[in-house]
Structure 1
Amino acid sequence: MDSHFRGALWTILILFTLPHLTYNMLCPSSCLCNFRGAVKCVGDTITDIPKQLPVHTYLLQLNGTIMNVINEQSLANRDLLLRFSLTHSHLHTIHPRAFHVAPQLKSVKLSYNDLSTLPARVFSPMTTLEQLHLDGNQLETIAPDMFEGLVGLLDLDLNRNKLSSPSSDVFDKLSSLTFLNLGRNSIKKLPPTIFHSLTNLNQLMLYNNELEVLEPGIFDKLINLEELKIHQNYITSLSPQVFWSLKNLRVLTLSSNRLQAIPEKSFYNMPKLRKLTIYNNPLLSLPDQLMGHMPDIIDFYLYATNLTTVPGNLFANMSGLLRLNFHLNDHLRELPSDLFCCLPKLEKLSLRSNNLHYLHPRLFSGLTTLGILFLNDNKLQSLPDDIFQDLSRVVSIDLKNNQLMTLPGDSFLSNTALKALGLSGNPWDCTCSIRGIAKWIRHNEHVVLDRQDVICHSPTYQLLRTVGSLRDEEFNFCDTMTVTPSYFLTHKPIKTFHTTSTRGQTTVAASTTTPSPKTSTIIQGATQQSTTPSSQPSLHTTVLPTTLQTPTPTLPNKEFLSIPETPSPPFYEMLVIEQGPEFVHHNPHKAWVYVWFLPSDMTMTGLLMFSHILLVVTGLVLILGALFYMYRLNKTVNELKTECAHPPGL
């Protein structure tokens, strides 16, 4: 039983290994052979197609050879060969009958060689040929009968050649063609009927040429076209309705041309469109009627233009849009309030690197599915309180590199899914108005990924502090009431200064010890008047015209400045408080009076004093050391002079 079992195993093993042994024995030294019939040969020792190949070879790939000619008999006796490629070699000549001996071929790839011309009708005998790649060569012209007889050709690649003006009938016999690549050539103009016989074409590549115009009717017969790429050309204008026959089109790229305007209704009658790019064109405006019904579109690219604004209904027919790239428009200053009204599925919106100064409060109200929002690198100086209120699914918001000085503290309270927020590169003003957002940042440090770079730019005493490091108690002075400064026209009072606030604004007010039954003060920025009962006689008060913001801690009631009977007008025209509470001096400048204070922190004061003394002592020590060094140097020089004048032994 065991011997029968071993015999069966040996038989199976021999049957499986025999094809491998046979193929390896017949495979040339510079090739790799597959028992299924695939052969790949690589190397600069190959000068012609190998003669000895496995009998059942159906795929032959030659790559990186020094073969430069395909002879009349190079492909002879290869009856089972279906796919042949000779690429990245130095092929420059093909015999006119080279493929007559292999009419059964279905695929021929001659990519990246040195072909500059091809014999007429060289491929004609291959009536079953489905794929022909001639890309990466030096072809300048194609004879009208070059593709005659290729009735079954589906895939033709002429990319990366030097074609400039193909004839109008060059593709007339290729009615079965589904893919045509003419990209990266030097084509300046295409005849209006050149594609009229390609009724089955699905993909047409015309990118990276020198086309200046698209002739009217050039695409009229391409009723099955699904992808049209015309980017990176010199197109300055479009004919009206040039795309109207492309009812099955899914991808259209018009980017990187020279379009300054687009005709009305240019993108109508394309209900199956899924991707549209018109970026990197010097567009100055867009018509109100531009986009037709496009429920399936998911990607739209409109950036690097000269647009200053766009029609409010631009995206109204794009209900299926998922990604909108509307950035790098240096002149785009404003957006219509209803621009994004009809995008219920939008997931990504990029408005970065525009010139936006203002956003309407309801601009994003319809984007309930938005996940990523880029607003960085604009000129935004402020944001409406509830602009992000409806973005319940937003995960990332980028506000970096704008001109924001503050944000409402509840700006992101409704964005419960938020995981990444960028706030750096803004000139944050760390006065009372920053209190709310500073508190939010402290409680959501994991969300503000760049929190270490969210830096105070004003006032001066807060410079280089991070907004997240500001504590609530530092804003206690913001909770008191603001009273405007006043001075008296009669009497000679002694005034006590204190600060109060109204909704984040603070001013310095002057109260007096002069008797008054009622002292009335006007609250700057408020509509109410407060009165304080007193047994003192009434005094006339004059309110200064300006309220001054004070970012300092609460100032204690302390008599530290005496006001003369006739006060100095410059001192009372404008008063700016920089720090408190210890008064140092004031400095009038252009009707402003800057009052400077030293911090009352004894530790800091002691450290500064110690540093000053240490620097003075160090300077004295260095001076004394220099004097001593000069004394020693002078003494040594005198001794040397004496020795030279009276040498020993004389």
Structure 2
Amino acid sequence: MDSYVRGLLWATLLFSIFPLFYCSAPCPSSCQCNPHGEVICVGYTITEIPKHLPVHTYTLKLNDTNMNVIKEHSLAHQDLLLRFSLTQSHLHTIHAQAFHAAPQLKSVKLSSNDLSTLPARVFSPLTTVEEIYLDGNQLETLAPEMFEGLSALLILDLTRNKLTGPGAGVFDGLTNLTVLNLGRNNIKKFPKNIFHSLTKLRRLRVYNNELESLEEGIFDQLTSLEELILHGNKIEGIAPQVFWSLGKLKILTLSGNQLQTVPHKSFYNMPELSKLTIYKNPLLFLPNELMGHMPDMREFYLFSTNLTTVPGNVFANMSGLLRLNLHLNNKLRHLPPDVFCCLPNLQKLSLRNNNLFYLPPQIFSSLTTVNTLLLNDNNLTLLPEDVFQNLTNVMAIDLKNNNLKSLPGDIFSSNAALRMLNLSKNPWDCNCAIRDFARWIRNNPRIVIDIDDVLCHSPIYHVLRRVNSLRDDEFTYCDEKRIQTSLYEPAKTTHVSITTEEVRRYPTPRMRLHKSLQPLHVIPTTPLSKSTASEAKTQLASLPPASTSPTILLDILLIEQVPEYVHHYHHRGWVYVWFLPSDTDLLGFLMFCYILLLAAGLLIILAAVYGMHRLSVAMEALKAGCA
């Protein structure tokens, strides 16, 4: 027992003082050595692998050096070296026997160099190697036997090279490979059986290449695949059922290709899929049966397409979806009423930058968990009163840059959690229909985050006025039983009509606004009461017919709560009305401008008279001098 305790104490002592011996070992210049066996050498003065490294060097990293060649014996005498890295050093040559001196290596990283070719079987001595990084070089081809014998290889990175197409059989024997990265090359087509031996592959990345199609059966043996990255290619078509063998797939990216359509049931048999992107494809339509059972789907990106609508059941099997980006589709005009019926967990829905003109009344009724709804930059002209009724958890709604002229006053009454609402860049019509909504905006100024930019676009006397500045007493004329008025767009005919039969017997004169303003429409919305009709009948009873005097109603002004009447005259059956806006600030400004113009004109006249006087004096003096 005593000997056991003494042995334990000696072992503890040795392990405690070992780093001191190690640190005292020589470390080459331009290198940093740490007690964990890692040596990092940086600098352009390094032209060879340092020969005198600490005894227990497990990791050697050379970066930004002047070492262009790995020679036959460059790695000699490094029996404990497990990880070797030579990056950003313009390496262009590797001796065919270079790795015979260090067959124990587990990781080889030769990233960001100038390698254009590699000797066949250069890595074959590395029978236990697990990682090879050749990214960022100039490789155009790979010998068929390049990776022969590397059955322990787990990660192979060939990104950012110039590969046009790996030859058939180049990956044969890599039975334990889990990650294969071929992104950012010039690959146009794969041999059909190129991946057939990669049965344990979990991540395959072929993004930003020149692929034009996905052949039938190319992924059939990749039964362990969890991530398939294919975005940024030129894929115009995919074979039916090409993904059906990928039952464990979690991420699939097909964005940035040339797909105009997708085959029927393309995304079936992938129950573990959690992210799918098919955006930036010129898709014209989607089949009715496209998505299989995907309860784990969390993110779906379908934007920048040529779709005009989507199938009503396209999201029906995605009960776990959290974020749906259906935006930037500038031809998307219509959405089916039940398209969002089966998304009980959705948190964010983006429909921005589409071409939507109208939304079905109950389209969002099932989205009780949504907290962000983006509808900005569409062409929405009106919204149903109950369109947001069931969005009890929504915190942000964006409606800016649409064609909304008014909204019901209680459209957001059920959205108790609402904190951010955007309403700017809409042509708000500040007439009677907006009264209740203007009141809601005044009562909720902190919710409308762009409240200062929610401006009236009509009628003319309210242009550029903030909607929240409209007061209830400015809409009293809307409740009058006699006549209601409103102003519309230019170049429309003027109508005056009275519902009482006795009054209609007397034709009213047409009215037109002078001063380059838009026509005035006087349109009643309710019948006249008996008292009002009797009063009008009394006033009109003594008037002759319109044929005798077409301007007989000049003394009866059928305008209420509109800009102040200034002057009128008639000509050929038309009454020309001059008026000024009733807004006191604007009226004062216009009067100031008028007085300023008069003063300027008077000064100009005086200056002209004085100039003529001076000219006359000069002429008289000239004549006297000549005489």
* Pair in the same fold by TM > 0.5: yes
TM-superposed deviation, 1:587: 8.1
TM-superposed deviation, 1:622: 4.0
**RMSD (Å) for aligned C-alpha atoms:** 3.7
TM-superposed deviation, 1:472: 1.2
Counterpart residue number, 1:58: 58
Residues 576 and 121 (structure 1 numbering): CA distance in 2 closer, same or farther, change over 3 Å? farther
Residues 485 and 132 (structure 1 numbering): CA distance in 2 closer, same or farther, change over 3 Å? same
Residues 562 and 170 (structure 1 numbering): CA distance in 2 closer, same or farther, change over 3 Å? farther
Residues 615 and 44 (structure 1 numbering): CA distance in 2 closer, same or farther, change over 3 Å? same
Counterpart residue number, 2:387: 387
Deviations 1:145-201 (A, max 9, x none): 110111100000001111112112110110000000011111111011100100000
TM-superposed deviation, 1:449: 1.1
Deviations 1:301-350 (A, max 9, x none): 00111111111011000000000000111111100000000000000001
Deviations 1:368-400 (A, max 9, x none): 000111111111000001100100100111111
SS in 2 for 1:99: helix
TM-superposed deviation, 1:438: 1.0
Deviations 1:580-630 (A, max 9, x none): 4425237899x9977443346778656644543343233323442454466
Query: What is the CA–CA distance in structure 1 between the aligned matches of 2:252 and 2:349, rounded to whole Å?
Result: 20
TM-score by length of 1: 0.83
Deviations 1:95-133 (A, max 9, x none): 011111001110000001000000111111111100000
TM-superposed deviation, 1:493: 12
Residues 494 and 284 (structure 1 numbering): CA distance in 2 closer, same or farther, change over 3 Å? closer
Write the letter of the residue equivalent to 2:197.
Answer: S
Deviations 1:385-424 (A, max 9, x none): 1100100100111111111111111111111111111111
Query: What is the CA–CA distance in structure 1 between the aligned matches of 2:292 and 2:334, rounded to whole Å?
Result: 24
The reply to whether residue 613 of structure 1 matches residue 595 of structure 2 is yes
Query: What is the CA–CA distance in structure 1 between the aligned matches of 2:57 and 2:504, rounded to whole Å?
Result: 115
Query: What is the CA–CA distance in structure 1 between the aligned matches of 2:580 and 2:467, rounded to whole Å?
Result: 23
Query: What is the CA–CA distance in structure 1 between the aligned matches of 2:57 and 2:317, rounded to whole Å?
Result: 54
Residues 14 and 169 (structure 1 numbering): CA distance in 2 closer, same or farther, change over 3 Å? closer
Write the letter of the residue equivalent to 1:144.
Answer: P
Give percent identity, aligned residues only.
Answer: 59
SS in 1 for 2:408: coil
Query: What is the CA–CA distance in structure 2 between the aligned matches of 1:490 and 1:51, rounded to whole Å?
Result: 111
The answer on whether the counterparts of 1:116 and 1:140 sit within 8 Å (CA) in structure 2 is: yes
Counterpart residue number, 2:283: 283
Correspondence list, 1:427-442, <5 A: 427-442=427-442
The reply to whether residue 582 of structure 1 matches residue 594 of structure 2 is no
Query: What is the CA–CA distance in structure 1 between the aligned matches of 2:133 and 2:369, rounded to whole Å?
Result: 44
Query: What is the CA–CA distance in structure 2 between the aligned matches of 1:565 and 1:488, rounded to whole Å?
Result: 17
Residues 402 and 261 (structure 1 numbering): CA distance in 2 closer, same or farther, change over 3 Å? same
Residues 270 and 631 (structure 1 numbering): CA distance in 2 closer, same or farther, change over 3 Å? same
Query: What is the CA–CA distance in structure 1 between the aligned matches of 2:79 and 2:598, rounded to whole Å?
Result: 101
TM-superposed deviation, 1:220: 0.5
Write the letter of the residue equivalent to 2:99.
Answer: F
Correspondence list, 1:56-455, <5 A: 56-455=56-455
The answer on whether the counterparts of 1:85 and 1:108 sit within 8 Å (CA) in structure 2 is: yes
Counterpart residue number, 1:521: none
TM-superposed deviation, 1:641: 11
Query: What is the CA–CA distance in structure 2 between the aligned matches of 1:490 and 1:83, rounded to whole Å?
Result: 99
Correspondence list, 1:473-552, <5 A: 473-483=473-483, 485-486=497-498, 508=522, 525=525, 530-532=529-531
The answer on whether the counterparts of 1:582 and 1:600 sit within 8 Å (CA) in structure 2 is: no
Residues 346 and 601 (structure 1 numbering): CA distance in 2 closer, same or farther, change over 3 Å? closer
The answer on whether the counterparts of 1:81 and 1:105 sit within 8 Å (CA) in structure 2 is: yes
Any unmatched runs of 5+ in structure 1?
A: 1-11, 498-505, 510-523, 543-560
The answer on whether the counterparts of 2:482 and 2:529 sit within 8 Å (CA) in structure 1 is: no
Residues 637 and 321 (structure 1 numbering): CA distance in 2 closer, same or farther, change over 3 Å? same
Query: What is the CA–CA distance in structure 1 between the aligned matches of 2:504 and 2:329, rounded to whole Å?
Result: 62
Query: What is the CA–CA distance in structure 2 between the aligned matches of 1:327 and 1:624, rounded to whole Å?
Result: 65
The answer on whether the counterparts of 1:324 and 1:350 sit within 8 Å (CA) in structure 2 is: yes
SS in 2 for 1:344: coil
Query: What is the CA–CA distance in structure 1 between the aligned matches of 2:79 and 2:304, rounded to whole Å?
Result: 55
TM-superposed deviation, 1:367: 0.2
Counterpart residue number, 1:546: none
Write the letter of the residue equivalent to 1:532.
Answer: S
Any unmatched runs of 5+ in structure 2?
A: 1-11, 484-495, 512-519
Residues 135 and 471 (structure 1 numbering): CA distance in 2 closer, same or farther, change over 3 Å? same
Query: What is the CA–CA distance in structure 2 between the aligned matches of 1:535 and 1:266, rounded to whole Å?
Result: 74
Counterpart residue number, 1:549: none
TM-superposed deviation, 1:470: 1.1
Write the letter of the residue equivalent to 1:598.
Answer: L
Write the letter of the residue equivalent to 2:82.
Answer: L
The answer on whether the counterparts of 1:204 and 1:225 sit within 8 Å (CA) in structure 2 is: yes
Query: What is the CA–CA distance in structure 1 between the aligned matches of 2:588 and 2:219, rounded to whole Å?
Result: 84
Please identify, of 106-115 and 619-628, the stretch whose mean Cα deviation from structure 2 is larger. 619-628
Query: What is the CA–CA distance in structure 1 between the aligned matches of 2:400 and 2:162, rounded to whole Å?
Result: 46
Write the letter of the residue equivalent to 2:76.
Answer: A
Query: What is the CA–CA distance in structure 1 between the aligned matches of 2:624 and 2:26, rounded to whole Å?
Result: 105
SS in 1 for 2:297: coil
Query: What is the CA–CA distance in structure 2 between the aligned matches of 1:260 and 1:25, rounded to whole Å?
Result: 65
Query: What is the CA–CA distance in structure 1 between the aligned matches of 2:536 and 2:224, rounded to whole Å?
Result: 96
Residues 429 and 151 (structure 1 numbering): CA distance in 2 closer, same or farther, change over 3 Å? same
TM-superposed deviation, 1:355: 0.7
Residues 626 and 178 (structure 1 numbering): CA distance in 2 closer, same or farther, change over 3 Å? same
Query: What is the CA–CA distance in structure 1 between the aligned matches of 2:174 and 2:419, rounded to whole Å?
Result: 55
TM-superposed deviation, 1:242: 0.3
Corresponding residue pairs, total:
590
Query: What is the CA–CA distance in structure 2 between the aligned matches of 1:245 and 1:488, rounded to whole Å?
Result: 82
Residues 639 and 120 (structure 1 numbering): CA distance in 2 closer, same or farther, change over 3 Å? same
The reply to whether residue 469 of structure 1 matches residue 469 of structure 2 is yes
Counterpart residue number, 1:624: 606
Query: What is the CA–CA distance in structure 2 between the aligned matches of 1:600 and 1:412, rounded to whole Å?
Result: 33
Which of 553, 569, 580 does residue 598 from structure 1 map onto?
580
Query: What is the CA–CA distance in structure 2 between the aligned matches of 1:173 and 1:256, rounded to whole Å?
Result: 32
Query: What is the CA–CA distance in structure 2 between the aligned matches of 1:112 and 1:81, rounded to whole Å?
Result: 22
Write the letter of the residue equivalent to 1:412.
Answer: F
SS in 2 for 1:616: helix
TM-superposed deviation, 1:28: 1.9
TM-superposed deviation, 1:51: 1.4
TM-superposed deviation, 1:429: 0.5
TM-score by length of 2: 0.86
Write the letter of the residue equivalent to 1:314.
Answer: V
Query: What is the CA–CA distance in structure 2 between the aligned matches of 1:613 and 1:93, rounded to whole Å?
Result: 88
